[in-house]
Amino acid sequence: MNQFSPTDPDRAMAKVAVIGGGTMGRGIALAAVAAGLDTTLVDQKPGVVATASRYVTDRADRLAHERGQTVGRLTVADDLELAINGATIVIEAVVERPDVKRQVFQTLGRIAHPDALLASNTSTLSIFDLADAAGRSDRVIGMHFFNPAHRMRLVEVVAASTTSDATRADAVALCRVLGKEPIVVADVAGFVTSRLGLLLGNEAMRIVAEGTATAADVDTAMRLGYNHPMGPLELADLVGLDARLDNLRSVAERMDRSEFAPPPLLSEMVEAGHLGRKSGHGFYHYDADGTILDGPSHG
């Protein structure tokens, strides 16, 4: 058993560092704090950790109470090296750019504790590649959370060929500590969930672009006809259209399959600054709280 096992019964040994305080990082930090784990959240962009910290503290008590847990301590940092000092579990949630993630993993390889579990929340990128950047390939693994990360129960655990069995067991145990249900999958582009979700989203966007149906009707079709809790275009707006574009580019490039190529409508929307819920405009218009205002802005 690893020295820093997340299954440590009193959880006192576990110190989590979440890198990136955006949409996913703040949700992952919230899940960790509400599970009683002391957590440090770091982001390089000024102001992000302050907003992310409010997001976590506003929700942590209630979530911990629902789960019968005591709230862990949240600290924030704007310096990566400070944040991962003493961390036993590191979860990276920075933008979906291979160069940026590789640089983070290079730093982790240099300064993280030798036994620390090093996880990436990437949706599409190669875990093997990140493990290679870290230079300690046995301790690197994918932990792909879903949005909102404190509520969604699935974590796709992605084991590279170099990931050790102990690391895989630690990641699965950590999922359970966080109240999540893990599936363990192989390290292929887009894993299971992104491959399936991206194709559905692409087809939905093409349907809207060709004028076959409105965005609202496409979403209604999948909600009522297929029992999806959320339509594919509402989901794309929630994920962030810029993040979706990065994911498609990454899978299209790694798999060399044209069905993953970003639909022109998506590229145009991102170019126009329509990034979905976070910018107030996407396939729908949103108010400041993220409520849909006035029906679809497309179709």
Q: Does 232 engage in binding with ligand NAI (CB under 6 A)?
A: no
Distance CA 174, CA 179 (A): 9
Q: Does 214 engage in binding with ligand NAI (CB under 6 A)?
A: no
Q: Closer CB to ligand NAI, residue 104 or residue 189? A: 104
For residue 82, report the phi and psi dihedrals to the nearest 5 degrees: -65, -40
Residue 138 C-beta: closest distance to ligand NAI, Å: 22
Distance CA 147, CA 239 (A): 7
Q: Does 189 engage in binding with ligand NAI (CB under 6 A)?
A: no
Residue 137 C-beta: closest distance to ligand NAI, Å: 19
Give the SS3 label for residue 227.
coil
- Are 276 and 241 in contact by the 8 Å Cβ rule? The answer is yes
- Span from 22-30, 168-176, 197-205, 282-290 in contact with ligand NAI (CB under 6 A): 22-30
Beta strands in 78-219 (DSSP E): 89-92, 117-120, 140-144, 154-159, 181-186
| Contacts (CB under 6 A) with ligand NAI, residues 46-105 | 48, 80, 93-96, 100, 104
Residue 129 C-beta: closest distance to ligand NAI, Å: 13
Give the SS3 label for residue 98.
helix
Q: How many CB atoms are closer than 10 A to CB 138? A: 15
Q: Does 41 engage in binding with ligand NAI (CB under 6 A)?
A: no
Distance CA 7, CA 193 (A): 26
Question: Which residue in 14, 17, 20, 284 binds ligand NAI (CB under 6 A)?
Answer: 20
- Are 111 and 81 in contact by the 8 Å Cβ rule? The answer is yes
Helix axes 193-209, 264-271, angle to 10 degrees: 90
Q: Does 234 engage in binding with ligand NAI (CB under 6 A)?
A: no
Q: Closer CB to ligand NAI, residue 224 or residue 290? A: 290
Token digits for 201? 């989203």
Question: Which residue in 109, 197, 240, 262 binds ligand NAI (CB under 6 A)?
Answer: 240
Q: How far is CA 69 from the centre of its chain?
A: 23
Q: Does 143 engage in binding with ligand NAI (CB under 6 A)?
A: no
Q: Does 19 engage in binding with ligand NAI (CB under 6 A)?
A: yes
Residue 230 C-beta: closest distance to ligand NAI, Å: 12
Q: How far is CA 63 from the centre of its chain?
A: 19
Task: Report which of 143, 28, 11, 29 is spatially closest to residue 75, judged by C-alpha positions.
Answer: 29
Question: Which residue in 6, 21, 109, 231 binds ligand NAI (CB under 6 A)?
Answer: 21
Q: Closer CB to ligand NAI, residue 121 or residue 167? A: 121
Q: Closer CB to ligand NAI, residue 181 or residue 210? A: 181
Contacts with ligand NAI, residue ranges (CB under 6 A): 19-25, 42-45, 48, 80, 93-96, 100, 104, 121-123, 144-147, 239-240, 243, 247
